[in-house]
């Protein structure tokens, strides 16, 4: 066992403790960025001037009328930027654009004494627009050849040859919608400038170091002139990895120009119309199967909707291409990925980061093909699982491949799958208007940033003379429980109770050059760094303690706040006494820790290498019930076994799994982003720009029975205390719910028929799928066999999914 993964006696990691801020959350005492702004006197509020066009040149901006509004202090435009007018890292993201690239794009900001003044001022700013042609839908972008970034291909073997030899070839199109993050706390920043011209920005951000760099770029300052703090976020989900920087930049520019504190807090409408979302994808594919159901070949073209600027779209596409395989071995494969350029918000990171879209493709293919192969979907999936010795299409060996099959078998047994399959079939036979569906799907998700440099982290651990400990690390807290885990790691590493450790807010002047808290990597990276710092301190304390107890340093043990020596009788020495003695001996009582993930290599040109430290695995079984009259459905039961390694914090990890699952169910079944792509006056408008029109899962979407278990004895050698990352992978367990819906829809149709289902599978989409299925049943398509073409014309006007199935013998 590696020293990184090894746990000492009585570790604090592994204990199921509540979130470290739970009591502050529940009492309203926990502060968020705008709560701090409310407590800051003399603060100005910024409000954007938004484009009413999907694409338009700014001929001029006339601010006179705005400045005449009572309470308006200043109007910020491109002319005010002392540095570079760009809030991104790719040089394509002007903070004050000369050309509005999407409807809602901010071209100027107004500072007012309060929100009402700033908002009234923004309404009074006169912009002379020159409307330009726009591209809204993916289809329009493809038609116009409107792309951005570099197209990439993952290739192994010869997909064409593989398809030619297949027993059955199925082809189709799979389209999925984007997803709004809908973190409950919208984007927010508060900036103040001090007497020396240093700018201090509190930002609701997942990436304080990058915020610092971008503020330096915009303000024309050096990084040491700027400090960024991220106290906590009211949710991030990737939406505050990069998209938060522009708002921090506006606040920072405002404070620099006025000398007063400036706050930006988007209201929900602004947040939804201005910030990026999960990428929608359009995927054309052709898959070849052997007679026994083995996937032989897959050829696919993936097109993502990147929106108006590049943001992280290339990395999202890379991860999508690296996750099309999910848990399945596909020998001959060719996956092409390209990014459309459209006049929409710039789509960005969102929990899973392309992985969900890539995995949706293969799960959709398997779900649609299983009936054509005459194989039960769960059996078809099992037959295609990776086995030991096989590699991914991008050349990475799938170590611990047996873990997927192991989880699968455990889960099917634990969820009584076989018994419930019969119960569901019996129910469906007895009910004409209601049908139930049952399905199982696996998850295999690669952990590490594809960008190798991001796979490092820092920490700063202080031990004070009284034995109390203050830790800093580079990760940010967005609800995922990172700080809770870091407290547990520090307590474990120092052999102290949790009560001895305190955690200070994440800020760039404590730990510099940090990576985004993203890619599920927060605990792995920062945990490694915290452990390193604690280890350095213990290495210095051990000789002091050894001398106190008359044993060699190597025989000193730190546990539960007591220091003992091997073979030394008695209760041991309190940690604080050792610390005090060390201080008197002039021993350094603090340490900076660093961690880098070993063993990664990746060639972004060839899309080959080992970009991941390991894979996180899991599987879910879902049961749903569909009302044939309306297409409405309920989530009856979900069972999950997920691999979080040896969990650092089980309550936190279970929370991540459940929350990720329900968020994934939201993406796949409920959350319905609609953009106006008509030629009308609202072209380019996000039609679902509020909580009343964009519905998140609520209590009614939680599975009535929800059994979540962590995989036991799951130590991961390559990560801190044997744990695994858990932030993103569970989102993709939600495919089980989508496949269960497909199963239920299929029960309205003939015995053997491929069922297509739109994504999101809203009640309306499910209704039309049921309609097709019942139609097929009524028209006597129950002819069975594997060679038929399900040629029922799709009546669903919104499914976006023509029926698949070019089938060759």
Partner 1 sequence: MDNNELLAGTDPAFTVNGAPRQFGPGPANTTALDWLRSNGLTGAKEGCAEGECGACAILVAQPDRHGGTAWTAVNSCLIPMASLDGQELLTAEGLGTPGSLHPVQEAMAGAGGSQCGYCTPGFVCSMAAEYYRPDRGAPAQRPADSGAAQPSETGPNGFDLHALSGNLCRCTGYRPIRDAAFSLGRPPAVKPDGDPLAARCGSPAPALRTTLLERGDGVFVRAATLEQAASLLAANPGAVLVAGSTDWGVEVTIRARRAPLAIAIDRIPELDAIDVREDEIEIGAAVPLSEIERVLGARVPLLGQLIPQFASRLIRNRATLGGNLGTASPIGDSPPALLALDARLILASAAGERTVPLSEFFTGYRSTVRAADELIKSVLIPMPLAGLTAFHKVAKRRFDDISSVAAAFALTLDGGRLTRVRIGLGGVAATPLRARATEDALAGRPWTRETAEAAAAVLETEGTPMDDHRASARYRSAMLANALLKLHADSTQKQEEQS
Contacts of partner 1 in 603-632 (CB under 8 A): 625-627, 629-630, 632
CB closer to partner 1, 537 vs 665: 665
- Beta strands in 294-433, from DSSP E residues, in sequence order: 295-305, 332-340
With CB under 8 A as the contact rule, which of the stretches 162-170, 308-316, 541-549, 657-665 interacts with partner 1?
Answer: 657-665
Rounded distance, CA 286 to CA 698, Å? 37
For the record, the structure tokens of 338 come out as 């390209």
CA 115 to chain centre: 31
Site string for partner 1, 727-766 (x = CB under 8 A): -----------------------------------xxx--
Among positions 5, 8, 15, 35, the unique one binding partner 1 when judged by CB under 8 A: 35
Q: What is the CB neighbour count within 10 angstroms for residue 262?
A: 31
* Distance in Å, CB of 691 to partner 1, minimum: 3
* Distance in Å, CB of 757 to partner 1, minimum: 15
* Distance in Å, CB of 382 to partner 1, minimum: 27
* Distance in Å, CB of 770 to partner 1, minimum: 11
Rounded distance, CA 548 to CA 690, Å? 65
Positions 421 through 440 that interact with partner 1 (CB under 8 A): 433-434
Give yes or no: 728 in active site: yes
CB closer to partner 1, 484 vs 500: 484
Cβ contacts of residue 2 below 8 Å, gap of 6+?
Answer: 717, 718
CB closer to partner 1, 480 vs 564: 480
CA angle 275, 279, 282 (to 5 degrees): 150
CB closer to partner 1, 499 vs 585: 499
* Residue 203 engages partner 1 in binding (rule: CB under 8 A): no
* Distance in Å, CB of 763 to partner 1, minimum: 6
Cβ contacts of residue 107 below 8 Å, gap of 6+?
Answer: 49, 50, 51, 58, 61, 77, 96, 97, 100, 127
Among positions 119, 507, 642, 753, the unique one binding partner 1 when judged by CB under 8 A: 119
* Distance in Å, CB of 214 to partner 1, minimum: 24
CB closer to partner 1, 239 vs 750: 239
Rounded distance, CA 483 to CA 505, Å? 10
Positions 37 through 96 that interact with partner 1 (CB under 8 A): 38-39
Positions 266 through 305 that interact with partner 1 (CB under 8 A): 267-269
CA distances from 56 to 126, 131, 793 (A): 14, 4, 40
Positions 700 through 729 that interact with partner 1 (CB under 8 A): 700-702, 704, 706, 708
Among positions 194, 388, 466, 798, the unique one binding partner 1 when judged by CB under 8 A: 798
Q: Which residues pair with 304 in a beta bridge?
A: 281, 339
* Distance in Å, CB of 475 to partner 1, minimum: 14
* Distance in Å, CB of 632 to partner 1, minimum: 6
CB closer to partner 1, 96 vs 182: 182
CB closer to partner 1, 150 vs 687: 687
Q: What are phi and psi of 35, to 5 degrees?
A: -65, -35
CB closer to partner 1, 271 vs 325: 271
Burial class (CB in 10 A: 0-12, 13-18, 19+), 631: buried
**58-62, long-range: CB < 8 A, 24+ apart:** 58/97, 58/98, 58/99, 58/100, 58/107, 58/127, 58/128, 58/129, 58/130, 59/128, 59/129, 59/130, 60/127, 60/128, 61/107, 61/108, 61/125, 61/126, 61/127, 61/128, 62/125, 62/126, 62/127, 62/128
Q: What is the CB neighbour count within 10 angstroms for residue 644?
A: 27
Rounded distance, CA 652 to CA 780, Å? 51
Rounded distance, CA 491 to CA 222, Å? 36
Among positions 768, 773, 776, 792, the unique one binding partner 1 when judged by CB under 8 A: 768
With CB under 8 A as the contact rule, which of the stretches 327-335, 448-456, 537-545, 652-660 interacts with partner 1?
Answer: 652-660
For the record, the structure tokens of 145 come out as 């050849």
Positions 240 through 269 that interact with partner 1 (CB under 8 A): 267-269
Among positions 86, 93, 175, 185, the unique one binding partner 1 when judged by CB under 8 A: 185
Q: Are 70 and 298 in contact (CB under 8 A)?
A: no
* Residue 481 engages partner 1 in binding (rule: CB under 8 A): yes
- First CA to last CA across the chain, in angstroms? 51
Catalytic position from the list 93, 180, 241, 728: 728
* Distance in Å, CB of 521 to partner 1, minimum: 18
CB closer to partner 1, 380 vs 439: 439
CB closer to partner 1, 277 vs 338: 277
Among positions 32, 350, 417, 454, the unique one binding partner 1 when judged by CB under 8 A: 32
At 270, which helix (H) or strand (E)? helix 268-274
Cβ contacts of residue 333 below 8 Å, gap of 6+?
Answer: 154, 155, 156, 157, 159, 162, 297, 298, 299, 324, 325, 393
Positions 2 through 31 that interact with partner 1 (CB under 8 A): 18-19, 21-31
Q: How many residues bind partner 1 (CB under 8 A)?
A: 90
Among positions 302, 478, 534, 711, the unique one binding partner 1 when judged by CB under 8 A: 478
Positions 336 through 395 that interact with partner 1 (CB under 8 A): none
* Residue 234 engages partner 1 in binding (rule: CB under 8 A): yes
Rounded distance, CA 185 to CA 465, Å? 38
User: Quick check: helix, strand or coil at residue 87?
Assistant: coil
Positions marked active-site: 728
């Amino acid at each position: 066992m590696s020293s990184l993964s090894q746990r000492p006696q009585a570790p604090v990691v592994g204990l199921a403790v509540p979130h470290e801020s739970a009591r502050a959350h529940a009492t309203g005492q926990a502060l968020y960025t705008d709560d701090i702004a409310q407590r800051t006197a003399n603060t100005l509020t910024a409000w954007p001037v938004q484009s009413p066009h999907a694409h338009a040149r700014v001929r001029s901006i006339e601010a006179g009328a705005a400045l005449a509004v009572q309470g308006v202090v200043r109007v910020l435009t491109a002319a005010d930027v002392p540095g570079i007018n760009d809030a991104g890292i790719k040089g394509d993201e002007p903070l004050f654009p000369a050309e509005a690239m999407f409807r809602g794009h901010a071209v100027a900001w107004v500072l007012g004494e309060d929100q009402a003044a700033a908002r009234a001022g923004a309404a009074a700013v006169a912009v002379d627009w020159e409307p330009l042609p726009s591209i809204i839908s993916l289809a329009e972008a493809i038609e116009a050849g409107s792309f951005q970034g570099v197209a990439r291909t993952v290739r192994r073997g010869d997909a064409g040859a593989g398809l030619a030899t297949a027993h059955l070839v199925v082809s189709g199109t799979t389209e999925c919608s984007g997803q709004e993050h809908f973190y409950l706390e919208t984007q927010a920043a508060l900036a103040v400038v001090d007497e020396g011209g240093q700018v201090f920005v509190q930002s609701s951000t997942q990436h304080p170091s990058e915020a610092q760099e971008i503020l330096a770029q915009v303000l024309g300052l050096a990084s040491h002139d700027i400090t960024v703090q991220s106290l906590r976020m009211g949710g991030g989900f990737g939406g505050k990895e990069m998209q938060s920087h522009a708002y921090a930049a506006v606040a920072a520019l405002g404070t620099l120009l006025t000398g007063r504190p400036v706050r930006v807090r988007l209201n929900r409408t602004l947040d939804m119309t201005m910030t990026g979302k999960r990428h929608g994808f359009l995927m054309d594919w052709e898959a070849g199967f052997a007679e026994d159901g083995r996937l032989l070949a897959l050829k696919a073209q993936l097109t993502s909707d990147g929106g108006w600027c590049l943001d992280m779209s290339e990395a999202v596409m890379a991860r999508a291409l690296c996750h099309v395989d999910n848990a399945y071995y596909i020998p001959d494969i060719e996956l092409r990925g390209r990014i459309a350029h459209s006049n929409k918000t710039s789509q960005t990171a969102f929990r899973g980061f392309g992985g969900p879209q890539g995995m949706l493709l293969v799960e959709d293919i398997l779900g649609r093909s299983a009936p054509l192969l005459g194989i039960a979907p769960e059996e078809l999936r099992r037959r295609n699982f990776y086995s030991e010795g096989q590699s991914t299409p991008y050349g990475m060996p799938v170590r611990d491949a047996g873990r997927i099959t192991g989880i699968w078998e455990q889960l099917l047994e634990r969820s009584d799958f076989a018994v419930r399959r019969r119960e569901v079939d019996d129910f469906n036979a007895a009910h004409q208007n209601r049908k139930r569906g049952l399905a199982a799907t696996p998850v295999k998700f690669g952990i590490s940033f594809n960008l190798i440099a991001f796979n490092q982290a820092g920490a700063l651990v202080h031990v004070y003379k009284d034995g109390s400990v203050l830790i800093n690390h580079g990760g940010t807290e967005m609800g995922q429980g990172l700080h809770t885990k870091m407290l547990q790691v520090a307590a474990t590493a120092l052999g102290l109770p949790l009560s001895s450790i305190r955690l200070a807010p994440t800020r760039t002047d404590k730990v510099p050059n940090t990576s985004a808290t993203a890619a599920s990597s927060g605990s792995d990276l920062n945990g490694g760094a915290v452990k390193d710092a604690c280890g350095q301190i213990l290495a210095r304390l051990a000789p002091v303690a050894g001398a106190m107890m008359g044993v060699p340093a190597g025989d000193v043990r730190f546990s539960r706040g007591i220091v003992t020596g091997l073979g030394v009788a008695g209760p041991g020495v309190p940690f604080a006494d050792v610390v005090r003695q060390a201080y008197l001996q002039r021993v350094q009582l603090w340490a900076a820790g660093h961690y880098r993930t070993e063993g990664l290599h990746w060639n972004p040109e060839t899309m080959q290498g080992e970009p991941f430290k390991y894979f996180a695995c899991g599987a879910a079984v879902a049961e749903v019930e569909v009302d044939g009259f309306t297409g409405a459905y309920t989530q009856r039961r979900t069972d999950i076994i997920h691999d979080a390694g040896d969990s650092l914090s089980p309550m936190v990890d279970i929370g991540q799994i459940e929350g990720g699952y329900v968020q994934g169910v939201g993406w796949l079944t409920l959350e319905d982003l609609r953009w106006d792509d008509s030629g009308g006056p609202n072209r380019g408008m996000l039609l679902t720009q509020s909580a009343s029109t964009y519905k998140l899962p609520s209590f009614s979407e939680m599975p009535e029975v929800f059994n979540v278990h962590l995989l036991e004895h799951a130590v991961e050698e390559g990560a801190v205390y044997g744990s695994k990352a858990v932030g993103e992978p569970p989102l993709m367990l939600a495919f089980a719910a989508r496949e269960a819906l497909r199963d239920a829809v299929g029960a309205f149709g003939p015995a053997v028929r491929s069922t297509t289902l739109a994504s999101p599978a809203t009640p309306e989409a499910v209704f039309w799928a049921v309609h097709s299925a019942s139609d097929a049943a009524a028209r006597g398509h129950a002819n069975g066999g594997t060679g038929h073409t399900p040629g029922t014309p799709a009546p669903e006007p919104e499914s976006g999914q023509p029926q698949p199935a070019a089938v060759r013998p």
